[in-house]
Amino acid sequence: MQKILIANRGEIAVRIIKTVRKMGIKSVAVYSDVDRSTPHVGLADEAVLIGAAAPSESYLSIPRIIAAARSTGADAIHPGYGFLSENAEFARAVVDAGMTFIGPTPEAMEIMGSKLMAKKAVSKYGIPMVPGTDTAIQNTSEALTFARSIGFPVLIKASAGGGGKGMRIVEQEEEFESQLERAQSEALKAFGDDSVFVEKYITSPRHIEIQILADQHGNCIHMGERECSIQRRHQKVIEEAPSALLTDEMRNEMGQAAIGVAKSCDYVGAGTVEFIVDQDVKFFFLEMNTRLQVEHPVTEMTTGYDLVEQQIRVARGEVLAIKQTDIKSSGHAIELRVYAEDPMDNFMPGTGALIRYSPPVGDGIRVDDGLREGLEIPIHYDPMIAKLVVHAKTRPMAIQKMASAIREYTIEGVPNTLVFGAFVMQSDAFRSGDFNTHFVRDHFTPKELNPNAETVKVAALVASKLQTEHKMQLRVIHNPVSETKSL
C-alpha cells in the first residue's frame, strides 16, 4: 500500500492523513470547490478537485472519487465516516477498480446496514435484543396487534439508515397509524427505503457502544466501551470512556456479545456495536456501525492504540498484532463534539466565518479539527467544527480538564456547542453518572444556560449583520499543495 486516497473532508480527513503520513504512506485529498482552502487539502501530498459543493456532485460521487484515485495512482481508499463510508456499492467499486477498500466487505455492510437483516444475523449468537418484529411492517392492523402485545410505548424504526430519521415513539394506541405513516414517509425520503419495524420502547435508555477490531484471518477483539448517552435529536454530542455505569463483568459480557455480532457477518476492520441499556441495567443489541466512529479518539486515548493505523494494517492483510489481553483501559477520556449549532435555539445549525478561532492546548488535550480562523463553515455539510477530547487519570479529573479546555477554547463568528459542553460538565446528573439519553430533555433549558437568552439572540443577530458587512475584509487563506488536479 503506497498511496491512500481519503474520500472525505474536514477533521476526519485531517486525522486520517496524519496517520497515513506517520506510516510512511503517501496521501491524496479530494475536495469540493468550497473546500479549496481547508486544511486537509494542504496537508495531503496531493489534492484533487472533484466537483461542486453539493455532496452529490463531489463527496457522494462514486465515479468522481474513483477517477481521482486512478489519476493519482492511489492503490487504496479510506472512506472516513459519513458520506460513502457505509455504502456497499462504493466499496465494490473500489475493489472492482483494482484498489483496496479500507473497511469491511460490501456483504458485511449490507447485512449491518439493514437493521432487520442485522437482527436476523445476530440472532444465531444468542445476543439479547429488544422485543420487536423480525420483518418489515406489511399490514398496519397486524403491526398494531403486535404493538399491543408488547405494550405501549413502542418505537417505530426505519430498517435502513440512522441518525434518528424514520424513527417515531408511539405513546398511545390511537397514535400508531399516523406515526407509522410518518416514519415510513421519512424513511423513504432519507434512505429510499420505507421499510420500518416495531420494537418495545426503552423509556430510560443508556446508549453504550463497543469498539471491535477484526482481521482477515478470523481474529476479533473488543477494545472496551464508550458511553454515548448525551444526545440531541438522537445524535451524540458528548462521549466518554469508560462508562460510569458498567461493572467489569458487564463490560466483558457486552464485549463478547459485540464480538459475536462481528462474527455474524464475517466482519473485517474497525467497527462499533451499539447497545441500549435499560433501567434494570440489561443490555440489548441496537445496531452495528461498519466504519470508524466520530468518537473513536476516546478509545485511542484510553487504550493507546491508533485505530486508523489498525484499519490500514488489517486492510493490507496483516494478522492482528493486538490480543484481547493486551487491551488495558487507562484513565478516563471525554469527547465534546463542537458543532456550529445554537444550544439557545434547539441546537439549530449555523453557518458563517470563524472570525476568531483558537483551540486549547496542553497535556491530555486533543483537538481534531479541519478548519482555521477566517474560513467559512459551509451550509452543504455537517456543521462540525472540531472534536475536543481530554484524558485524565480519573473521571472527575477528566470532567475538570474538559471544563478548563472549554474555557480556553475561543470561537467567534458562529454559534457553537462549547457553552452546552460547559453546562454538561457542571451538571449534577452528568457528574454523578446518573443520566440517560433524555439528558437534554430532562436537565437542559436555554434559561439554565443563560438567563438573558433573548439578549444573546439579539446580540447574535447584530454580530451576524456586522459579519456580513465586513466579510470581504476577512483574510483569505491559501493552502499550497504539491499537485492539484481537476476532474
CATH code of the domain covering residue 156: 3.30.1490.20
In a domain? residue 303 = yes
Same domain membership, residue 154 and residue 33: no
Of the candidates 64, 291, 313, 395, the residue annotated as catalytic is 291
| Residue 104 in this model has a pLDDT that exceeds 50 | yes
* 481 falls within a domain: no
Assign 479 a pLDDT band (cuts: 50, 70, 90): very low
Grouping H, G, I as helix, E, B as strand and the rest as coil, residue 352 is: strand
Distance CA 204, CA 442 (A): 11
CB 205 within 8 A of CB 277: yes
Of the pLDDT bands very low, low, confident and very high (cuts 50, 70, 90), residue 161 is confident
Q: Can you give the pLDDT at residue 294?
A: 97
Gap between the Cα atoms of 116 and 281, Å rounded:
24
Do 238 and 184 share a structural domain?
no
Q: Could you write out the DSSP letters of every residue in 274-289?
A: EEEE-TTS-EEEEEEE
The pLDDT tens digits for 238-251 are 999 999 999 999 99
Range(s) of the domain holding residue 37 = 3-102
The band of 190, judged by pLDDT with boundaries at 50, 70 and 90, is confident
Cα–Cα separations (whole angstroms), residue 269 to 5, 102, 111, 124, 221 = 17, 8, 15, 22, 11
Which of 16-25, 71-80, 196-205, 469-478 is the least confident region? Answer: 469-478
Give CA–CA dist 165/340, Å, rounded.
21
Q: 422 with 274, same domain?
A: yes
Q: How many CB atoms lie within 10 A of CB 268?
A: 22
Per-residue pLDDT at 456 exceeds 90? no
With respect to residue 268, please indicate whether it lies within any of the assigned structural domains: yes
What per-residue confidence (pLDDT) applies to 194? 92
Same domain? For 373 and 256 the reply is yes
- The CATH number given to whatever domain includes residue 61 is 3.40.50.20
- Cell numbers standing for residue 309: 493505523
124 occurs within a structural domain: no
**Distance, CA of 38 to CA of 431 (rounded, Å):** 37
**Residue 426 and residue 380 share a domain:** yes
**Do both 10 and 78 map to the same domain?**
yes
Answer yes or no: do 276 and 191 share one domain.
Answer: no
- 162 and 294 both lie in a single domain: no
What average pLDDT does the segment 114-136 reach?
93
CA-CA distance, 26 to 1, in Å (whole number)? 9
Q: What is the mean pLDDT of the chain?
A: 92
* Top-confidence residue, 128 or 457: 128
Q: Does 470 fall in a domain?
A: no
Whether the Cβ atoms of residue 439 and residue 430 lie closer than 8 Å to each other: yes
Distance separating alpha carbons of residues 7 and 66, to the nearest angstrom: 9
| Residue where one domain finishes, among candidates 144, 178, 200 | 200
Q: Is 121 part of a structural domain of the chain?
A: no
- Same domain, yes or no, for 256 and 143? no
Final residue of a domain: which of 102, 120, 150?
102
Q: What is the pLDDT of residue 450?
A: 60
Looking at 183, 200, 217, the residue that finishes a domain is 200
- Of the candidates 323, 274, 267, 334, the residue with the CA atom closest to the CA atom of residue 299: 334
Same domain membership, residue 387 and residue 332: yes
291 is catalytic: yes
pLDDT confidence bin for 216, thresholds 50/70/90: very high
Give per-residue pLDDT as tens, 360-385. 999 999 999 999 999 999 999 999 99
Are residues 344 and 325 part of one domain?
A: yes
Q: Are 343 and 447 in contact (CB under 8 A)?
A: no
Choice between 227 and 457, residue whose per-residue pLDDT is larger: 227
Residue 478 falls inside a structural domain: no
Which domain CATH number covers 262? Answer: 3.30.470.20
Does 293 score more than 80 pLDDT? yes
Number of domains in the chain: 3
3-class SS of residue 11: helix
Please check whether residues 50 and 93 belong to one and the same domain: yes
Percent of the chain predicted with pLDDT > 90? 88
Q: Does 466 map to a domain?
A: no
